[in-house]
């Protein structure tokens, strides 16, 4: 792996040097432009410079430290033990972080009984973990993405909690889901 990384790093340096040479050539062409053929050549040099730039970015992406991806949560097909463990972890985050740090948002106490809440809260928790608690790989702590954090606070958190506030019509009288299920007539077998 180190040999590959070293070779890619050397290639990246060579690309940077080549980009510099192409840019210098473009400047020379611009200053020595005496006939139309040079304009065509200048356009070709610009295209080449653009391609080198794109290739250089791809090489940089390969060299960037690899960060383990946080998986999107799923509630489908979980056995009872896995479901309980996933729910317990989500409850810990909701009660220990979300409710503590964002007390101005309303979230019904019975949220864990509502499937839409499980999906939505688990998903924004996964994104929160990706941003604020990224996994450490090879003893390297990845940088936290400010744009992602701003988007989480501006878009994800308020929209999820607003949707849940509307979709979980529970109040002091209790969980409306439980009340509806209790009031539903039993179907004859």
| Cβ–Cβ < 8 Å for 164, 117 | yes
Instruction: Give the largest Cα separation in the chain, rounded.
Output: 93
Q: How confident is the model at residue 3 (pLDDT cuts 50, 70, 90)?
A: low
Q: Which pLDDT tens digit goes with each residue over 61-110?
A: 565 555 557 788 999 999 999 999 999 999 999 999 999 999 999 899 89
Residue 15 CA to residue 54 CA, distance in Å, equals: 10
Percent of the chain's residues with pLDDT above 90? 37
Q: Which pLDDT tens digit goes with each residue over 111-143?
A: 999 999 999 999 999 999 988 887 666 777 677
pTM, to two decimals: 0.57
Residue with tokens 């009872």: 80
Q: Return all residues near 53 (Cβ < 8 A) that are at least 6 apart.
A: 19
The residues spanned by each domain of the chain are 2-63, 80-183
Mean pLDDT, the chain, integer = 80
């Amino acid at each position: 792996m180190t040999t590959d990384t070293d070779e890619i790093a050397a290639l990246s340096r060579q690309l940077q040097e080549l980009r510099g040479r192409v840019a210098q050539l473009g400047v020379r062409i611009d200053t020595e432009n005496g006939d139309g053929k040079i304009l065509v050549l200048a356009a070709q040099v610009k295209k080449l410079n653009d391609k080198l730039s794109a290739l250089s970015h791809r090489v940089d992406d390969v060299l960037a430290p690899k960060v383990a991806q946080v998986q999107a949560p799923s509630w489908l097909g979980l056995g009872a033990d896995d479901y309980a463990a996933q729910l317990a972890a989500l409850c810990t985050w909701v009660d220990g972080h979300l409710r503590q740090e964002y007390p101005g948002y309303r979230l019904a106490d019975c949220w864990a009984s509502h499937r839409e809440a499980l999906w939505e809260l688990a998903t924004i928790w996964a994104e929160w973990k990706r941003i604020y608690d990224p996994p450490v790989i090879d003893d390297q702590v990845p940088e936290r993405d400010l744009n992602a954090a701003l988007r989480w606070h501006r878009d994800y958190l308020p929209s999820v909690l607003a949707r849940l506030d509307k979709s979980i019509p529970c109040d002091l009288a209790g969980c409306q889901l439980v009340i509806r299920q209790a009031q539903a007539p039993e179907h004859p077998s």
